[in-house]
Structure 1
C-alpha cells in the first residue's frame, strides 16, 4: 500500500475564500466530516486575505493554498494541489450534504455534475428562485458555482480547468465540459447563502444576474461585467503564488493548466 501522504483519494473539496475571517471558522467546522471520511480532503484557497482568514482557517483544513485573488484562479490553484480523483468546488457560504462522497460513485473520467440548490434567506420568494435555478440548469446543462460543481480530475485537466477570467468562470467551464458530456444533475441539495439577495433586494439582484448573463452571452468582457458585479481590479490578477500545506506535509503537485 502506498504511504498515506501520497495515496489517491476519492474526493477533494476545494473552497476559495477572500477576507472571510468573520465566518470562516463556523463554516469550516461544519465541513469537518469531509476530513473524517478517509476518502476526502478539504482544501482552502486564500486569495491574499488582509484579515485573519488564513490564520483562523489553518486548523480546520487539510491544506491551505495561497493564490492571487480571482475565484477561477484560486480554484485552479487548489486543483493543482488536490489528491482526489474527483474535484468538488464549494463556495464558503454553501453547505454540502454529508452524502456527497457516496454520490460521486461511478463518476468516470468523462463525468461531471452539480447539486440542486436551496437558498437560505429572508425573502419568501427565494425557494422559487432556487427552483428556477435548478430547472434552468437541467434544461441548459449549465451549472453555477452555487450548485457545488464536481468534475473528474482527468476531465477537468482535459478542458484546461477554469478560465482565468474575473467573472462567469463557472459558466465558461460548464460550456467546455458540456461539449464532452452532459452534467449529472443531482437532486440532493446544497444550501447556499442568500446574503446578496437580502442585502441588495431580490428583484434587483435577479435583474443584475440576468443582465450579466445576457451581456456575457453577447460578448461583453468578463472584466467589465466583474466591475458591474462589484469585484475589484485585484480579482483580475493572473499569477499564482506557491502553496503552503496546512498539515506540514510536502504538497502533492498535480498537473498544471
Structure 2
C-alpha cells in the first residue's frame, strides 16, 4: 500500500479539526499528517499535536501560502488536501487507496463530491449545481478536497501564495494538463457560512469575487472584501439575536396595582 501525505491549512479551527482528525484516523496504512497553521489564537495547534500531526507555522496568513508550505514539506508521492472544517465519508480509505495504488491515476487529479451539512432545500440545489460545474466544467473548489500526485502538482506549478482563490488558480492550470475526476464519495463541509448569510447571498458573493479575480483584481483586496463580508454577517446575526426581547417571568400574571386602577 502506497503512503499518503495529508495537508490541512488551519486558522482557529479547534472545534472542527478534531472531527476531521478522527475521520483521518480510519486510514489503516502509513500517513504523514501535516497541519499548516496561519496564526491560530485558539487550541488548534494543541489539537493537531495531540493527534500526532506535524505542525508548520505559515509566515503569512492565507490558504495559498499555507498550502504551498504544506505541499513543499510533504514526503509522500500522493497528497490529499483538505479544509479543516470538512468531514470524510467512512468509506474514504477504500476510495483513496484504490486510486493511489493504480499507477495510471498519477496523471489525473481527484476530488470528492461537494456536500454541505444541513437539511435546507437550497443546500441540496447548491450541491447539484456544484456537481454539474465540477463534472462538465472541471472546476471543483477547495472545499471538495484534492487528491493529487506530487509529479502532477509540480507540473501544474503547485499552489501559489495567493491570499484568496488559490484553489481556482490551481484548478484552472490543471485543466490544461489533466482530467479532474470524482472519487464518488461526499466530503461534507461546515454549513456555518451558508447559514450566517443565506445560501443565495453567499453564492452570489463568491461568484462576484471569482469574477473580480478573473478580471485581474488583487487577491489581497479580494481577501479583505471576503473577510469584511463574513464579519458583517456575523455582526448582523449577533445584533438580530440581541434585539429579541428577553422573556418576562411575570407575563400572564395579573398585577394587583393594575387591578386596583381598573376598579
TM-score norm. by structure 2 comes to: 0.78
- Structure 1 residue ranges, 4+ long, deviating more than 3 angstroms after superposition: none
Following superposition, the deviation at residue 29 of structure 1 comes to 2.3
1:121, 1:195 within 8 Å by CA — same for their partners in 2? no
Give the corresponding residue for 1:128: 125
2:7 to 3, 10, 14: 14
- Say whether residues 1:59 and 2:59 are aligned partners: no
Deviations 1:87-130 (CA, angstroms, capped at 9, x unpaired): 11101111123333333332544321211111112532101101
TM-score norm. by structure 1 comes to: 0.80
Give the corresponding residue for 1:240: none
Q: 1:141 to 1:166 in 2, by over 3 A?
A: same
- RMSD of aligned C-alpha atoms? 2.1
- Say whether residues 1:175 and 2:172 are aligned partners: yes
1:137, 1:143 within 8 Å by CA — same for their partners in 2? yes
2:135, 2:181 within 8 Å by CA — same for their partners in 1? no
- Say whether residues 1:104 and 2:107 are aligned partners: no
Deviations 1:64-98 (CA, angstroms, capped at 9, x unpaired): 22213210111121112212211111011111233
Following superposition, the deviation at residue 144 of structure 1 comes to 0.3
In the comparison of the two structures, how many residue pairs are matched?
A: 223
Structure number having the greater helix percentage? 2
Following superposition, the deviation at residue 9 of structure 1 comes to 4.6
Larger radius of gyration: 2
Give the corresponding residue for 1:42: 33
Give the corresponding residue for 2:77: 85
Residue 185 of structure 1 aligns to a residue whose secondary structure is: strand
1:44, 1:61 within 8 Å by CA — same for their partners in 2? no
1:11, 1:101 within 8 Å by CA — same for their partners in 2? no
1:123, 1:202 within 8 Å by CA — same for their partners in 2? no
2:4, 2:80 within 8 Å by CA — same for their partners in 1? yes
Alignment of 1:1-257 (within 5 A): 9-34=2-27, 37-68=28-59, 69-97=61-89, 98=92, 99=94, 100-106=96-102, 108-230=105-227
Residue 13 of structure 1 aligns to a residue whose secondary structure is: strand
